[in-house]
Structure 1
Amino acid sequence: MHYTAFMSLISQSTLQRWIENVADRAHPVVSAFEPYVDGLDDLPADGRFLLVGNHTQAGTEALLIPYLVRRQIGIRVRPLADRRFGNITGLAGDVFAAAGAVVGSRDTARELMQAGEPILVFPGGGREISKAKDQLYELMWKGRTGFARLAAENDYPIIPVALVGGDDVYHVLTSSDGRWARMTKPLAARLTGDSNMAIPLMRGIGPTLIPRPQRTYLRFGAPIDTTRPKRAVAEKWVETVQMRVKTELEADLAALLEVRSTDPYRQLAPWARGSAVAP
């Protein structure tokens, strides 16, 4: 059956239910890898918060965070996606929308906040996925304050979400200031529109691009109040909120990297599973 004819037989809500049913049955698979998860029990039950996280090479955070939050509070998370991904059409676009993701425009984010929905954003965008070996777990926000401005305008609490493990699935061979980076920046700019992005050389298991097995470490921070004090200048307050979120997220990343360094199960070795570090 042609895709268009098939989609005419099902509604967006039906597709959403299918996706949620798959997610509800994914717990045994997720548990098999025993991710380290801290702070999940402290999430506000009403779902009125903005999750701000870091992107990694693996990209698993985009799926794992919404999965864990929905499982904890029973509310679907609405990820804000880059326009390049949000405008995808066909089956991928319909699954994208049914999963709750929306294009990250100000108007859309404002509507979600007015409705009190949980939202997920990665201020670094795709730039944080394509990293050099000297940039692993670095927040590449480049002064981006849009998420902080919207949260402050709507008195929306922000919850930092740090994830470690995703930047270790590949061994990156090139640095951000090396010859390879300088050579590939023009091509990366044409492909992504970002003149600061290079295409790193990397390998997974052995000389292949098969990802290396790595345990995931995730920490949900305490909610950050974004309500602007009466005497605070609006733009200064936005910068203050952005810096506080960035500082707390960086601190959580550093703490998780320390946890990871002492964990015998960090490479998912079956014989070390019984000794896996727990929160």
Structure 2
Amino acid sequence: MATLNIDEIMNQPRRIQTLRRIVESLADGAAPLMDLYRPYVEGLSNLPSDGRFLLVGNHTQFGAEGLMIPYYVRRQVGMRVRPLADRTFGRMRGLPGDLLAAAGAVVGAPETAGELMRHNEPILVFPGGGREIAKFKGEEHTLRWQDRAGFARLAVEYQYPIVPVALVGGDDVYRSLSTRGGRWERLSQRISERLSGRTDMAVPLMRGVGPTLIPRPQRMYMRFSEPIPTDKPARTANDKWVATIKQNTQEALEQAITDLLQLRNSDPYRELNPLAWQKAARPPM
């Protein structure tokens, strides 16, 4: 699939529109299964009902956030979320690229994000990108944003409220066995560079149930925090305000992760033990 242009973003081809209806029907049909799984989800009332907001989340190794966040947002406000995908998405061809496009994903470039903001659509971004997914030992439940502040710059430019959305549980499905800076990271980095040309996608050694890669059963915990307004005060330098918005968003997200970790640690249902269902932690009403 070639890189999307602006017209394709807002007026998708018929095949994508057809796939979109199929994807949404499948998502609606999955509601009973999602409810049976009983993830802990709080703060949905913090989502602006007009859909004009930028969701800023954390990536996990299991990747449940990529499915859960759009699902619950659509369930709450009735609108499709537009995830900003890695630029490699623009090079995907055939059915995989079409499915991502049908799910609302667009290339995470300033011009595409700006076009979505001009049309007041809900947008989802993970500032850590793909490099935040692979967590080496000791990096679980942490953000790897480095100097990335593009999301804050766009939010300020278009006065788009930011809703931090944290997910805990995805980093517990697999256990990382290797530490960053070791031999395995260097080997994995060389392999990644040869296959993809990227040097920031090293993958740690992991295990799931026992010594296998079978996923460990884990409950997911998600929080939508209060919106962060981005309207720039008078006589405030733009770069300074962008840095402030980035810091405020990161601190809100890290605090939500910390709170959810504490909640998870006290939840007897965290490993989906059916015998502990009646004692499972439940979101505040």
Query: Could you say which TM-score interval applies, normalised by the shorter chain?
Result: over 0.9
Correspondence for 1:263: 267
Taking the aligned partners of 1:277 and 1:145, their CA distance within structure 2 comes to 34
What is the CA deviation profile of residues 143-174 of structure 1, one whole-angstrom value per residue up to 9, with x for unaligned ones? Answer: 10000000000000000000000001001111
Return closer, same or farther for 1:197/1:18 CA change in 2, 3 Å cut-off. Answer: closer
Return closer, same or farther for 1:191/1:249 CA change in 2, 3 Å cut-off. Answer: farther
Q: Percent identity at matched positions?
A: 57
Correspondence for 2:76: 72
The aligned amino acid for 1:217 is Y
Correspondence for 2:255: 251
Return closer, same or farther for 1:258/1:191 CA change in 2, 3 Å cut-off. Answer: farther
Return closer, same or farther for 1:114/1:105 CA change in 2, 3 Å cut-off. Answer: same
Correspondence for 1:235: 239
Correspondence list, 1:1-279, <5 A: 11-279=15-283
Correspondence for 2:11: none
Taking the aligned partners of 1:243 and 1:190, their CA distance within structure 2 comes to 35
Cα deviation for residue 85 of structure 1 reads 2.4
> Is the 1:156–1:226 contact (alpha carbons within 8 Å) kept by the matching residues of 2?
yes
Is the partner of 1:11 in helix, strand or coil? helix
Which structure 2 residue ranges, 5 or more long, are not aligned? 1-13
TM-score (norm 1): 0.93
Cα deviation for residue 198 of structure 1 reads 2.6
Return closer, same or farther for 1:89/1:46 CA change in 2, 3 Å cut-off. Answer: same
Cα deviation for residue 192 of structure 1 reads 4.5
> Is the 2:42–2:223 contact (alpha carbons within 8 Å) kept by the matching residues of 1?
yes
TM-score (norm 2): 0.91
Taking the aligned partners of 1:199 and 1:15, their CA distance within structure 2 comes to 32
Paired residues in the alignment total 270
The aligned amino acid for 1:271 is L
Return closer, same or farther for 1:278/1:84 CA change in 2, 3 Å cut-off. Answer: same
> Is the 2:130–2:201 contact (alpha carbons within 8 Å) kept by the matching residues of 1?
no
> Is the 1:51–1:121 contact (alpha carbons within 8 Å) kept by the matching residues of 2?
yes
> Is the 2:163–2:226 contact (alpha carbons within 8 Å) kept by the matching residues of 1?
yes
